[in-house]
């Protein structure tokens, strides 16, 4: 199917005011007609001219609606002049992982799909926030700009026919409006673990966990990921890298 750029007429929704932790609402709110599209378009518009040719990171905590929102955001970004998207496999990236990817790949920012500790599911919460090029949360001046735009939005842009499957790791190349557009679906854990190995001495930590450096028994520890996005990171770091069992 050919990729076509569409400009879709819309009307504002009240209350799309993001805080430091972004916009959090019930899933039923985000899945209203054009609700998510409006908010994402306002995030992109708030970046101004810097958006054209930029790289953005997209991912979240894996809660209900995360994957669908991720694929929708990719299509909106494609229509708004973004050149490259780094997306977590299945739309999953922890917030610290998004921050590390932004900095490592010199991205303009990242769209994070999370409502933090709020319960997930079709009857519960979803959230979207923007992290800036330093990897940190958007400052008040930026979120205020998003809110102002959300009150006057009349249209959003989307690349119709752009087929993307974020369940498959790999590089996907497209041509959108005569320009290259790249979606790189990445392993959700790899880059973050690489950052951790650059910050901490994993060899010494492994010896500590095994008991080798202490001349005793392996370290006993209990880690509760609380059904959160960190589960896969815990598995890779503590089990695969540090040798815990």
Q: In the chain, what are the domain boundaries? A: 4-188, 200-241
Predicted pLDDT at 78: 98
Cα-based distances in Å from 230 to 70, 74, 103: 19, 24, 20
Q: Which fold has domain 4-188?
A: Alpha-D-Glucose-1,6-Bisphosphate; Chain A, domain 3 (3.40.120)
For residue 213, the model assigns a pLDDT of 81
- Round to whole Å and give the CA distance between 67 and 92: 8
Q: What pTM does this model have?
A: 0.93
Dihedral, CA of residue 181, residue 51, residue 166 and residue 169, to nearest 10: 70
**Alpha carbons within 13 A on the beta-carbon side of 56:** 28
d(CA 77, CA 32): 20
Q: CA-CA-CA-CA torsion for 44, 50, 55, 61, nearest 10 degrees?
A: -40
Please tell me the distance from the alpha carbon of residue 74 to that of residue 162, in angstroms, as a whole number: 9
pLDDT at 142 over 70: yes
Check whether 235 has a pLDDT greater than 90: yes
Which residues have a catalytic role annotated? 116
Per-residue confidence band for 79, with pLDDT thresholds at 50, 70 and 90 = very high
């Amino acid at each position: 199917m050919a990729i076509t750029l569409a400009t879709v007429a819309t009307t504002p929704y009240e209350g799309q005011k993001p805080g430091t932790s972004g916009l959090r609402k019930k899933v039923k709110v985000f899945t209203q007609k054009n609700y998510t599209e409006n908010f994402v378009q306002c995030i992109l518009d708030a970046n101004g001219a810097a958006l054209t040719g930029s790289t953005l990171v997209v991912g979240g905590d894996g809660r209900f609606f995360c994957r669908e929102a991720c694929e929708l955001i990719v299509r909106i970004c494609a229509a708004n002049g973004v050149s490259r998207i780094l997306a977590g496999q299945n739309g999953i990236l922890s917030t610290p992982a998004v921050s590390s990817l932004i900095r490592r790949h010199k991205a303009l920012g990242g769209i994070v799909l999370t409502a933090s500790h709020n319960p997930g599911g079709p009857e519960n919460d979803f959230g979207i926030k923007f992290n800036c090029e330093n990897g940190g949360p958007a400052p008040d001046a930026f979120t205020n700009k998003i809110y102002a735009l959300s009150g006057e939005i009349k249209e959003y842009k989307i690349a119709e026919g752009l087929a993307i499957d974020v369940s498959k790791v790999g590089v996907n190349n497209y041509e959108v409006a005569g320009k290259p557009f790249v979606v790189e679906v990445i392993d959700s854990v790899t880059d973050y673990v690489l950052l951790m190995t650059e910050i901490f001495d994993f060899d010494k930590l492994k010896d500590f966990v095994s008991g080798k450096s202490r001349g005793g028994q392996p370290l006993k520890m209990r880690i509760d990921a609380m059904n959160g996005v960190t589960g896969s990171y815990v598995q890779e770091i503590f089990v695969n890298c540090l040798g815990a069992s």
